[in-house]
Amino acid sequence: MKPTLQVTDLRTHIYLRSHVLKPVDGVSFNIAPGRILGLVGESGSGKSTVGYSVMRMIDPPGRVAGGSVEFNGTNILDLDDAEMRRLRGNRIAMVFQDPMMTLNPVLTIGTQMMETIAAHETIGKMQARDRCVHALELVGIPAPAERLKAYPHQMSGGMRQRVSIAIALLHEPGLIIADEPTTALDVTVQAQILSEVQKLAQDRGTAFLWITHDLSVVSGLADDVAVMYAGKIVEQGRTIDVLRNPQHPYTRGLIGSIPSGTAQGEMLTPIPGSAPNLTRLPQGCAFEPRCPHRLPQCASAVPPQSAGTGRALACFNPLVDAR
Amino acid sequence: MTQTPILELRKVAKSFAKGDDIVSRAARKLGLLAPNRPLHAVQESSLQIWSGEIVGLVGESGCGKSTLGRLAAGLIRPTCGAVLQDGKDVSTMTRSERRQAKLKTQMIFQNPYASLNPRAKIGQAVGEAARFHGLLDDGSGRTSYEDYVESQLARVGLDSGYKNRFPHQLSGGQRQRVAIARALAVKPHMLICDEVVSALDVSVQAQILNLFIELRDRLNLTYLFVSHDLHVIRYLSDRVVVMYLGQVVEEAPAEQIYRHPNHPYTRALLAEVPRLGEGKSQFTAIKGEMPSPLDPPKGCPFHPRCIHATARCAVEAPAIVEIAPGHRSACHLNQMSH
């Protein structure tokens, strides 16, 4: 099937007076309709910047410096602003971590949802209202017609996040980019939202780019996973393959750091050190200073992306038999 | 287990009342406004912590777990019930006894950036309390302030150069290490950790969790670990206490509660934890959300969401009873099966 989103060699750089930061440096992946790709990484790895780049919401001094972002076959980096505005929020939607920041506190959610519809279409008020009710229903909000009159502060965190997902759904987008949408929520509420997302992908063929730091969420939710480190995807493939048999030392380090991966009483095997500073990246592989499997060449050359069968890896010394 | 627990909360409850301004007070007198209802953050809960133990306290946001942690740390006073330290009621202690008792129980918070003074150097943050309380002398002879601070930093894996830095020059993981060093600098017996690793990246989180285990073994510490993260709690705890809407609903040794959860809430909560490497899973959600603690349901707090709820659950609150050695649960279903 033709992918909904195809990102090739995306580079997003920030041009500062004294130097250039590269939060996204050569990222490639694609998402087919109805598939969920989990983009995983720690803070500062550039995973959110990928999402913003796809939405073309990078502000100066940052700028997309190269690569292409093809959405249903058109490179959206070539679109002019008006064309992009027609796409954004309409065909591609984004959901953020904190719904209290996304929603306007002084407008009812009904007003905000209608506004979203009016921004892209001219339809009757009643029809628009029906569509809002339907979107709220889809994300599992009880009594949606009455909820339209509610203000954001009258809802719980989980409800608010559902509303922001409902807003993203209003125009039945082909792609939804979700940036840590369940991180602030409790597990029971998170489970409710994840089950709605799975249904949406399955029933409507919506593609999801699910940005998160939580490998265990990705494990249960995503079809594919891409692991980012210091602006590059170090490993990607089918979720089950990558998590059961990680080949990049960083992926294995991440898995070893999660308490659910180890038995009680056993020590965790954390990755030594902390994530590199983007202003002082090592010359070779960015993970080299923390890597237990480094080779001499890792310090001097950047490992290229090797694409296998649905599996890509950037490492000179991959783990053959993990665990 | 026959000695006195290092810390005991005996039927403590804590409610908060919203302060009234003059207008609403007048309005209430005239009957224009509903009476001021207190918020019951914690309702009659008991908890015993034995020396050397790691107790995990889990629950969703708003269940009262942080309030219970603060009660245990002596930061707030219970509305009713008693907090006992080494068998002595804290409220009947003399001032100097209470001061000693407070030093013995230290608390560490979620966000080390908020809990460290941004204008104080790390060395000052770590050493000041110990100097004030005259704890610099460790018995082996005179210790200088500088040496003491350095030894405290070394214990949490920071080298002595950090004492001259400011909090903003440190990463999140390093700041949390400083917060731990500061808590340990006054030689406590017990640490109460409120979501201490939630704000950290997983690889750093693992370093800090390992540090906690190392320190416990080295210093014979006791922990009350408050967290919403069920993985973290399972990894660390000897015993797990589950709270829901201000009440302790289940309490058991860690492996027991994760293998054989008894309370329907615990079961639902554990079922929804995403696990690694189990492949794509179907998420089955508990219906509804936690009710507001301002308006808790009658009877069992969980009954509106419980799939096993009976008529009895809606009227009568279940008492927490022992169902197996060391395993206590508050559910009517346990009595029916007997």
User: Rounded distance, CA A38 to CA A146, Å?
Assistant: 34
Would you say residue B167 lies in a domain?
A: yes
Report which of B91, B111, B114, B113 is spatially closest to residue B101, judged by C-alpha positions: B91
Who's near B102: CB < 8 A, 6+ residues apart? B74
Check CB contact under 8 Å for A268 and B234: no
Count CA atoms within 13 Å of residue B245 on its CB side. 20
| A181 contact residues in B (CB cutoff 8 A) | none
Could you give the CA distance from residue A42 to residue A231 in angstroms, rounded to a whole number? 11
Q: Which of B77, B42, B36, B79 is nearest to B57 (CA)?
A: B42
When divided into structural domains, chain B yields a total of 1
Q: What pLDDT digit, counting tens, does each position of A120-162 carry?
A: 988 899 999 999 998 998 887 888 888 899 999 888 777 888 8
> Residue B173: its chain A contacts at CB < 8 A?
274
Amino acid B142: pLDDT:
61
Chain B residue numbers with beta carbons less than 8 Å from the beta carbon of A264 are 234-235, 254-255
Which 8-state DSSP code applies to residue B51? T
Residue B311, domain member (yes or no): no
Contacts of B235 in chain A (CB under 8 A): 259-260, 262, 264, 268
Q: So what's the pLDDT on residue A84?
A: 92
Asked if B91 reaches chain A (Cβ–Cβ under 8 Å), the answer is no
In a domain, B288, yes or no: no
Q: Is residue B173 included in any domain, yes or no?
A: yes
pLDDT at residue A319, as a whole number: 85
CB–CB contact B276 A156 (8 Å): no
Look at residue B223 in the predicted model and tell me its pLDDT. Answer: 94
B256 within some domain: no
Please report which residue ranges of B185-332 form alpha helices under DSSP H: 202-219, 230-236, 254-259, 264-271, 311-315
| Complex-level ipTM | 0.74
Q: Which residue of B has its CA nearest to A242?
A: B277
The residue in chain B having the minimum alpha-carbon distance to the alpha carbon of residue A224 is B280
Question: Cβ-count burial of B65 within 10 angstroms (0-12 exposed, 13-18 middle, 19+ buried)?
Answer: buried
**Could you give the angle at the alpha carbon of B62 between the alpha carbons of B60 and B68, nearest 5°?**
95
Q: Does B56 map to a domain?
A: yes
- Nearest in space to A250 (alpha carbons), one of A270, A264, A231: A270
Q: What percent of chain A has pLDDT over 90?
A: 45
- Name the more confident of A306 and A282: A282
Residues of B in contact with A289 (CB under 8 A): none
Q: From first to last of its 338 residues, what are the pLDDT tens digits of chain B?
A: 457 899 999 999 998 887 777 787 788 777 777 777 788 889 888 999 999 999 999 988 888 888 999 999 988 899 999 999 988 898 899 998 888 888 999 999 888 888 889 999 999 999 898 888 888 776 665 678 888 898 899 989 888 888 899 998 888 888 999 999 999 999 999 999 998 888 788 888 888 899 999 999 999 999 999 998 888 898 899 999 999 998 999 999 998 998 899 999 999 888 877 777 666 666 766 777 778 777 888 889 999 888 888 899 999 989 999 999 999 999 998 876 54
pLDDT band at residue A323, thresholds of 50, 70 and 90?
very low
What's the rounded mean pLDDT across residues A29-50? 92
- The confidence score (pLDDT) of residue B337 equals 56
- Name the minimum distance, in Å, from the CA of B96 to any CA of chain A: 38
Residue B336 placed within a domain: no
Domain presence at residue B269: no
Assign A40 a pLDDT band (cuts: 50, 70, 90).
Answer: very high
Residue B338: the pLDDT is: 46
Digit-coded pLDDT (tens) for A218-243:
988 999 999 999 999 999 999 999 98
Q: Which residues of A touch B234 (CB under 8 A)?
A: 259-260, 264
The CATH number covering residue B153 comes to: 3.40.50.300
Distance of residue B207 Cα from the nearest chain A Cα, in angstroms: 6
B284:A195 CB<8 A: yes
Q: Report, as an integer, the average pLDDT of A209-226.
A: 91
Largest pairwise CA distance in chain A: 67
* Residue A96 scores a pLDDT above 70: yes
Q: What is the DSSP letter of A161?
A: H
What's the sign of the alpha-carbon dihedral A113, A117, A119, A120? positive
Render the burial of A2-33: b for 16+ CB within 10 Å, e for the rest. ebbbbbeebbbbbeeeeeebbbbbbbbbbbbb
Residue A261 has pLDDT above 50, yes or no: yes
Most A CBs within 10 Å, among B238, B280, B284, to test the A interface: B280
pLDDT at B171: 82
pLDDT at position A321 = 60
Instruction: Name the residue range of residue B158's domain.
Output: 7-244
A155: how many CB neighbours lie within 10 A of its CB? Answer: 20
Q: Which residues contact A208 (CB under 8 A, 6 or more apart)?
A: A31, A35, A36, A37, A175, A176, A177, A178, A197, A200, A201, A222
Q: What is the mean pLDDT of residues A66-77?
A: 92
What does the block give as tokens for B19?
């302060």
Hey, are the CB atoms on A274 and B204 less than 8 Å from each other?
Answer: yes
Are B206 and A269 an interchain contact pair (Cβ–Cβ within 8 Å)? yes
The per-residue pLDDT for B193 is 93
